[in-house]
């Protein structure tokens, strides 16, 4: 009974403990397990995903790869809309809807980002995990998921919502398809999307591995910063639009108080 109670309390701590905005304060109580999964993921990446991504680059043109990437972004419109509405961002919901309509028509079904190229209406990333963070749901413990990579407790819950809003996921349950066709349809889309994303990150990942002393820590820090940036639309509290720390008047007055008449500081 006591062992079960301790296990329950431990899980509660994992869920409720926050991740701070500073990367060095990322809450990672499962680091030994996370590192093991991270090593497994890196092995899969080096020996399977990266070679496939490089092969994909060899047999396709930049235009084709851009079109496929645009299409995968385009069909996630339900996720963007739901996330916008959950955050009461009605103007952004209208922008996402306008982009969807323009890219569906002028963009040939989403393969061309006509909204950006013709009208300079840029894409803004949103997801359910970010919407939960917007309303103050703490991230909880940092997690490394097999195959899927970095996450946290809050974003793991958000992934369920993201998956449920994916139209391809539901098309995989189309009654007129056999179960083999349903599986191939759903997983085929996921596989191609993963290869497309990995191809776009080849140089960035190589540079990160080469420059970082501890690649695990680098990824953990980058993920935490990326999620904070998403929740606060690119401007976390305490930073200006350039990412620099804000100087407050109280701090300036305190510095002035330290100055002597001869202009020197104590």
Is the distance from CB of 162 to CB of 72 less than 8 angstroms? no
pLDDT at 220 over 90: yes
d(CA 106, CA 98): 12
User: What is the per-residue pLDDT across 108-157, written as a single tens digit (0 to 9) for each?
Assistant: 999 999 999 999 999 999 999 999 999 999 999 999 999 999 999 999 99
- Every domain of the chain and the residues it spans: 22-257
d(CA 211, CA 4): 44
d(CA 101, CA 115): 9
pLDDT grade for 180, boundaries at 50, 70 and 90:
confident
pLDDT at 237: 78
pLDDT at 203 over 90: yes
d(CA 243, CA 114): 30
pLDDT at 244: 54
**In residues, how long is the chain?**
266
Distance of CA 144 to the CA centre of its chain: 13
pLDDT grade for 187, boundaries at 50, 70 and 90:
confident
pLDDT at 264 over 90: no
pLDDT at 178: 82
pLDDT at 45: 98
237, 255, 256, 257, 264 from 250: Cα distances, Å: 17, 9, 10, 11, 20
pLDDT grade for 239, boundaries at 50, 70 and 90:
low
Exposure string of 19-46, with b = 16+ CB inside 10 Å and e = fewer, is bebebeebbbeebeebbebbeebbeebe
pLDDT at 51: 98
pLDDT at 174: 72
DSSP class per residue in 67-116: HHHHHHHHTTHHHHHHHHHHTT-HHHHHHHHHHHHHHHHTTTTTTS-HHH
- DSSP category for residue 245: B
User: What is the per-residue pLDDT across 14-29, written as a single tens digit (0 to 9) for each?
Assistant: 444 443 444 447 999 9
């Amino acid at each position: 009974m006591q062992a079960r109670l301790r296990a329950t309390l431990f899980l509660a701590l994992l869920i409720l403990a926050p991740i701070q905005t500073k990367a060095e304060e990322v809450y990672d109580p499962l680091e030994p397990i996370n590192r093991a999964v991270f090593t497994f993921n890196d092995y899969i990446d080096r020996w399977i995903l990266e070679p496939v991504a490089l092969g994909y680059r060899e047999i396709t043109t930049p235009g084709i790869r851009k079109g496929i990437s645009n299409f995968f972004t385009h069909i996630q419109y339900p996720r963007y809309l739901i996330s916008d509405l959950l955050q009461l961002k009605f103007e952004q919901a209208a922008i996402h809807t306008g982009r969807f309509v323009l890219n569906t028509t002028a963009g040939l079904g989403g393969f061309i980002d006509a909204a950006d190229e013709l009208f300079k209406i840029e894409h803004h990333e949103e997801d359910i995990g970010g919407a939960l963070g917007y309303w103050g749901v703490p991230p909880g413990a940092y997690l490394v998921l097999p195959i899927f990579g970095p996450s946290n407790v809050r974003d793991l819950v958000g992934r369920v919502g993201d998956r449920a809003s994916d139209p391809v996921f539901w098309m995989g349950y189309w009654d007129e398809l056999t179960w083999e066709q349903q599986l191939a349809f759903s997983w085929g889309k996921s596989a191609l999307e993963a290869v497309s994303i990995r191809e776009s990150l080849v140089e960035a990942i190589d540079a990160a591995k080469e420059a970082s002393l501890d690649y695990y820590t680098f990824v953990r820090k980058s993920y935490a910063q990326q999620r904070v940036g998403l929740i606060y639309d690119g401007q976390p509290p305490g930073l200006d639009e350039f990412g620099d720390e804000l100087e407050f008047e109280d701090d300036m007055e305190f510095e002035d108080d330290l100055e002597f008449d001869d202009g020197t500081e104590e």
